[in-house]
């Protein structure tokens, strides 16, 4: 047996020892040229010789990038995805890499408090996600048959007289600050249940509503709130189309449910505000989360903000809560929507500017978005075809906006130079005449379907109304006529040369006021209530007959019962203009408040009981003449409440003549734009599936 040849492996070992080692920290330039890099810093020798850029870094090569079939992730509510951030550990392996990261500050845990007794409807929007409702086992009221007569006058607000919804809730509270604050807290928040689901919309897409509560609130929205939201939209997006899209968009769905729940709290005291606040809070969380994503669907965000704007308008504390009012306007401008838009863009634009005009008419403000920038088609050629009533409604809305601006800019002082004053008055008269000509041309050229179908004088009707019965068929026609007559009433009051008491102007405003009151007194469509309230308020100021004034108050009360709109301020303003306040103060002493009446009655009962049963009197009261006993009792008992109510300090009036302050900064190009510290500009215009 021969020994193994040891020298046979020597050449292989020598070759292995002489083979150059693989370069691990070479430059990318040498790797691309397939050259060995000497790893010199800052530039290697090869790059210096060839005058090339010595690129450094780490290159990752993905060899197999083929995918046989698209990946599929099954939708399941049981899936929970968590992200593990190892960026700090990886950066620590590089020289100076960890210095790029700041110090880690632990997030403070939320402090659980109780909502204050006044329930000011302010709540927090944390970034953790919307709360999940945890309902009790008590069944909700039945929904079948509750909304079948939603359009009839006979309902009289009794549709939703159902038991109150019971549910379990936890409450959080935080500071009361707008979206422009340094954080995302906005007051107190109501959460439902211990868990908070993820904000991923894919996890909440569904085929249909399967909750009795959600069906109820959605029906209320479609049958009540959506009526007036779609009053100027021929496609009826909010009441007919968008509810179906909301099944795939939790942001929209929660906004719809919030408005429906809010309407129930307005018309039926059995329903509390907690449910409405919950859905409002949830929709806002989704919206704020989306506004931080540059690749968001801007159309859905803008539509959701418009619906949340409607929710805040329905709230009686709307002036204290302007969270989404300016935000909706800014998102509409970001989408590029104006009077030339179509589809959902047109629906959101006209609803938004319509609500702004109503507030400007109330507070005597200027419209923040100049009507000349809307892009309205003001071609007043005679309409020969029917079916375009909404186009003419948009035109009269433009005229009303111009009239509102004209009224808000009435000079508060006279020019020192008489020539300048005369020139300014002449210019204003020219503008007034142009607005009057527009209104007349609009009324002369609208299609026949926008004129009254019937007109009956009060003596021809059996309703015992003091106003004529004006019958208009289509809802958008009613809205348009109310806007038109309102513009004519205002024009009669703001003539630059003629006073409103001049016979010509007085007859003009009285004629159009009678038309507004006649429409509002006999209309059976609650979808026009929002416009009718403001138009009726302007028309009622011109009335002098006591019977007509009392009937107007009855009309307001009827609208309040059917819609739940808070209109107590309108009663107060009209009584002041009619001089009813002084009359009532002279005729009667103001009654005691209910609490004061109860305290006074308890005091009298105690006195009567003590006088009839001397044995229960204290020792100091016994064995004294009755007159002294009564005097001592009167001294010992609490003093009687005053006979008159304490004077309530008057609310400071909002300045008139200024641009609408709610929309003054409603543009993301301005420094103090809405959704401060939340909004991220979109990466590129996004084409949403809502364009149809």
Q: What is the pTM of this model?
A: 0.64
Helix H, strand E, coil C: the string for 608-663 is HHHHHCHHHCCHHHCCCCHHHHHHHHHHHCCCCCCCCCCCCCCCCCCCCCCECHHH
Q: 189 by DSSP, 3-state: which?
A: strand
Q: What is the pLDDT of residue 529?
A: 80
Average pLDDT over every residue of 442-465: 92
When the pLDDT of each residue in the chain is averaged and rounded to a whole number, the result is: 75
Low-confidence winner among 12-21, 137-146, 392-401, 444-453 (lowest mean pLDDT): 137-146
Q: Report CA Rg, the chain.
A: 36
* Cα–Cα dist 302/691, whole Å: 13
What SS3 state is found at 171?
A: strand
Find, among 164, 156, 159, the residue nearest to 146 by Cα: 159
Whether the Cβ atoms of residue 389 and residue 447 lie closer than 8 Å to each other: yes
Instruction: Say yes or no to pLDDT of 466 above 60.
Output: yes
Partners of 471 in beta bridges = 454
Collapsing DSSP states into helix, strand and coil, what is residue 186?
A: coil
Nearest alpha-carbon partner for 323 in 184, 200, 129: 184
d(CA 497, CA 119): 50
Confidence band, pLDDT 50/70/90 cuts, at residue 481: very high
C-alpha torsion sign, points 247, 251, 254, 259: negative
What pairing do the DSSP bridges indicate for beta strands 454-456 and 469-471? antiparallel
Identify the pLDDT of residue 315. Answer: 76
Query: What is the band of 303 on the pLDDT scale with cuts at 50, 70, 90?
Result: very high
**Would you place residue 168 in the very low, low, confident or very high pLDDT band (cuts 50, 70, 90)?**
very low
Prior bond of 293 cis (ω within 30°): no
- Among the residue ranges 59-73, 211-225, 481-495, the one predicted with the least confidence is 59-73
Q: Taking 60 as the threshold, does the pLDDT of residue 626 lie above it?
A: no
Q: What are phi and psi of 17, to 5 degrees?
A: -70, -35
Q: Can you tell me the distance from the alpha carbon of 293 to that of 679, in angstroms, rounded to the nearest whole number?
A: 9
pLDDT at 60: 61
Digit-coded pLDDT (tens) for 653-666: 668 889 998 888 89
Reported as a single tens digit per residue, the pLDDT across 84-121 is 777 777 777 777 777 767 666 555 544 433 333 333 33
- The model's confidence at residue 337, banded by pLDDT at 50, 70 and 90, is very high
pLDDT digits (tens, 9 = 90+) for 20-61: 566 677 888 898 888 899 888 888 999 998 989 898 876 666
Structure confidence at residue 444 (pLDDT):
94
User: pLDDT at position 85, please?
Assistant: 75
Q: What is the pLDDT of residue 531?
A: 81
Is omega for the bond preceding 42 within 30 degrees of 0, making it cis? yes
**Confidence label for 235 from pLDDT (cuts 50, 70 and 90):** very high
Indicate the Cα dihedral angle 109, 114, 116, 121, nearest 10°.
70
Question: Which residues have a Cβ under 8 Å from the Cβ of 597 and sit 6 or more positions away?
Answer: 591
Q: Which residue has the tokens 């909502």?
A: 115
Cα(290)–Cα(282) distance, integer angstroms:
13
368-412 pLDDT per residue, tens: 999 999 999 988 888 877 788 999 999 999 999 999 999 999 998
Say how many C-beta atoms besides its own lie within 10 A of residue 569's C-beta: 12
* Residues with Cβ within 8 Å of residue 33, at least 6 apart in sequence: 46
CA 653 to mean position of chain CA atoms? 23
- Quick one: which of 305, 306, 296, 257 has its CA closest to 279? 257
**pLDDT score recorded for residue 87:** 78
What is the rounded CA–CA span in Å between residue 257 and residue 556? 27
Residue with tokens 């290159």: 59
For a pLDDT cut of 90, what percent of the chain falls above it? 41
pLDDT value, residue 79: 62
Q: Are strands 189-191 and 170-172 parallel, antiparallel or unpaired?
A: antiparallel
Instruction: Say which range, 65-79, 449-463, 616-630, has the weakest mean pLDDT.
Output: 616-630
Q: What is the mean pLDDT of residues 527-536?
A: 85
What pLDDT shows up at residue 17?
53
The three-class DSSP label of residue 589 is: coil
Instruction: Please check whether residue 551 is in contact with residue 539, taking contact to mean a CB–CB distance below 8 angstroms.
Output: no
pLDDT over 80 (residue 219): yes
469: three-class secondary structure by DSSP: strand
Least confident window among 56-60, 194-198, 235-239, 304-308: 194-198
Measured distance between the N- and C-terminal CA atoms of the chain, rounded to whole angstroms: 93
Q: Which one has a higher pLDDT value, 635 or 21?
A: 21
Which of 124-133, 212-221, 428-437, 489-498 shows the lowest mean pLDDT across its residues? Answer: 124-133
**What 8-state DSSP symbol labels residue 25?**
S
pLDDT at residue 171 greater than cutoff 70: no
pLDDT band for position 74 (cuts 50, 70, 90): low
Percentage of residues in the chain with pLDDT exceeding 70? 65
What is the rounded distance in angstroms from the CA atom of residue 37 to the CA atom of residue 372? 68
Token look-up 């109820």 returns 216
Find, among 378, 385, 393, the residue nearest to 474 by Cα: 393
User: With contact defined as beta carbons under 8 Å apart, do 446 and 383 qualify?
Assistant: yes
31 class by beta-carbon count within 10 Å (0-12 exposed, 13-18 middle, 19+ buried) = middle
Segment 576-615, tens digit of pLDDT: 888 886 554 434 434 445 554 555 455 445 444 433 443 3
Query: Who has greater pLDDT, 594 or 461?
Result: 461
Q: Is residue 470 classed as helix, strand or coil in its secondary structure?
A: strand
- Distance between CA 679 and CA 301 in Å, rounded? 11
- Burial of residue 236 (CB within 10 Å: 0-12, 13-18, 19+) is middle
Tell me if 227 sits within 8 A of 525, measured CB to CB: yes
What does the chain come to in residues? 692
Q: Which DSSP helix (H) or strand (E) runs through 191?
A: strand 189-191
3-state secondary structure of 211: coil
Tokens linked to 227: 């009526």
Give residues with Cβ within 8 angstroms of 636, minimum separation 6: none
Triad 55, 61, 62: Cα angle to 5°: 150
The band of 281, judged by pLDDT with boundaries at 50, 70 and 90, is very high
Greatest Cα pair distance in the chain: 148
**Does position 346 have pLDDT exceeding 50, yes or no?**
yes
**SS3 letters for 96-156?**
CCHHHCCCCCCCCCCCCCCCCCCCCCCCCCCCCCCCCCCECCCCCCCCCCCCCCCCCHHHC
Q: What is residue 486's predicted lDDT score, i.e. its pLDDT?
A: 96
Phi then psi dihedrals of residue 553, to 5 deg: -65, -35
Mean pLDDT of the region 171-193? 32
């Amino acid at each position: 047996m021969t020994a193994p040849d040891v020298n046979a492996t020597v050449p292989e070992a020598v070759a292995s020892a002489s083979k150059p080692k693989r370069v691990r920290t070479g430059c990318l330039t040498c790797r691309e040229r397939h050259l060995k890099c000497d790893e010199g810093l800052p530039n290697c020798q090869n790059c210096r010789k060839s005058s090339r850029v010595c690129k450094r870094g780490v290159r990752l090569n993905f060899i197999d990038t083929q995918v046989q079939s698209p990946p599929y992730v099954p939708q399941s509510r049981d899936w929970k995805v968590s992200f593990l951030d190892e960026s700090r550990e990886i950066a620590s392996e590089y020289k100076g890499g960890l210095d790029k990261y700041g110090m880690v500050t632990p997030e403070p845990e939320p402090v659980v408090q109780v909502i204050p007794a006044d329930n000011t409807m302010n709540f927090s929007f944390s970034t953790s996600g919307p709360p999940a409702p945890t309902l009790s086992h008590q069944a909700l009221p039945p929904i079948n048959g509750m909304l079948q007569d939603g359009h009839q006058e006979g309902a009289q607000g009794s549709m939703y007289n159902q038991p109150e919804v019971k549910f379990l809730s936890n409450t959080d509270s935080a500071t009361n600050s707008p979206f422009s604050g340094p954080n995302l807290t906005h007051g107190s928040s109501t959460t439902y249940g211990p868990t908070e689901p993820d904000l991923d919309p894919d996890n909440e897409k569904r085929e249909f509503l399967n909750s009795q509560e959600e069906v109820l609130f959605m029906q209320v929205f479609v049958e009540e709130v959506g009526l007036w939201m779609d009053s100027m939209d021929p496609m009826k997006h909010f009441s007919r189309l968008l509810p179906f899209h909301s099944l795939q968009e939790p942001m929209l769905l929660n906004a719809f449910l919030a408005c429906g729940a809010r309407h129930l709290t307005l018309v039926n005291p059995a329903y509390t505000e907690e449910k409405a606040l919950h859905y409002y809070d949830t929709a806002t969380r989704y919206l704020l989360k989306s506004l931080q994503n540059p690749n968001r669907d801007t159309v859905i965000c803008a539509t959701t903000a418009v619906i949340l704007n409607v929710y805040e308008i329905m709230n009686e504390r709307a002036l204290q809560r302007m969270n989404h009012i300016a935000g909706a306007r800014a998102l509409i401008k970001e989408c590029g929507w104006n009077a030339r838009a179509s589809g959902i863009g047109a629906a959101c634009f006209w609803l938004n500017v319509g609500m702004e005009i109503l507030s400007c008419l109330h507070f005597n403000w200027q419209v923040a978005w100049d009507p000349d920038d809307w892009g309205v088609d003001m071609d007043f050629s005679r309409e020969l075809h029917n079916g375009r009533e909404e186009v003419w409604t948009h035109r009269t809305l433009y005229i009303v906006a111009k009239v509102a601006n004209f009224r808000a800019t009435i000079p508060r002082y006279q020019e020192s130079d008489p020539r300048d004053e005369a020139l300014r008055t002449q210019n204003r008269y020219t503008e007034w005449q142009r607005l009057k000509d527009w209104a007349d041309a609009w009324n002369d050229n609208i299609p026949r379907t926008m004129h009254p179908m019937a007109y009956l004088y009060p003596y021809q009707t059996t309703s015992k109304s003091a106003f004529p019965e004006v019958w208009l068929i289509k809802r958008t026609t009613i809205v348009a006529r109310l806007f038109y007559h309102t513009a004519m009433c205002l024009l009669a009051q703001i003539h630059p040369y003629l006073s409103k008491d001049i016979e010509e102007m007085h007859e003009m405003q009285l004629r159009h006021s009678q038309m507004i009151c006649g429409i509002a007194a006999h209309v059976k469509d609650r979808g026009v209530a929002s416009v009718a309230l403001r138009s009726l308020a302007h028309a009622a100021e011109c009335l002098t007959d006591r019977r007509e004034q009392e009937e107007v108050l009855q009309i307001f009360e009827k609208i309040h019962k059917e819609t739940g709109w808070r209109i107590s301020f309108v009663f107060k303003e009209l009584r002041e203009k009619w001089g009813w306040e002084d009359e009532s103060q002279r005729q009667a002493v103001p009654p005691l408040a209910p609490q004061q009446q109860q305290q006074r009655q308890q005091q009298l009962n105690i006195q009567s009981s003590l006088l009839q049963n001397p044995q229960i009197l204290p020792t100091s009261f016994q064995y004294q003449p009755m007159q002294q006993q009564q005097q001592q009792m009167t001294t010992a008992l609490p003093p009687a409440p005053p006979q008159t109510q304490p004077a309530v300090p008057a609310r400071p009036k909002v300045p008139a003549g200024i641009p609408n302050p709610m929309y003054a900064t409603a543009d993301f190009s301005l420094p103090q734009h809405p959704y401060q510290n939340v909004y991220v500009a979109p990466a590129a215009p996004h084409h949403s599936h809502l364009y149809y």
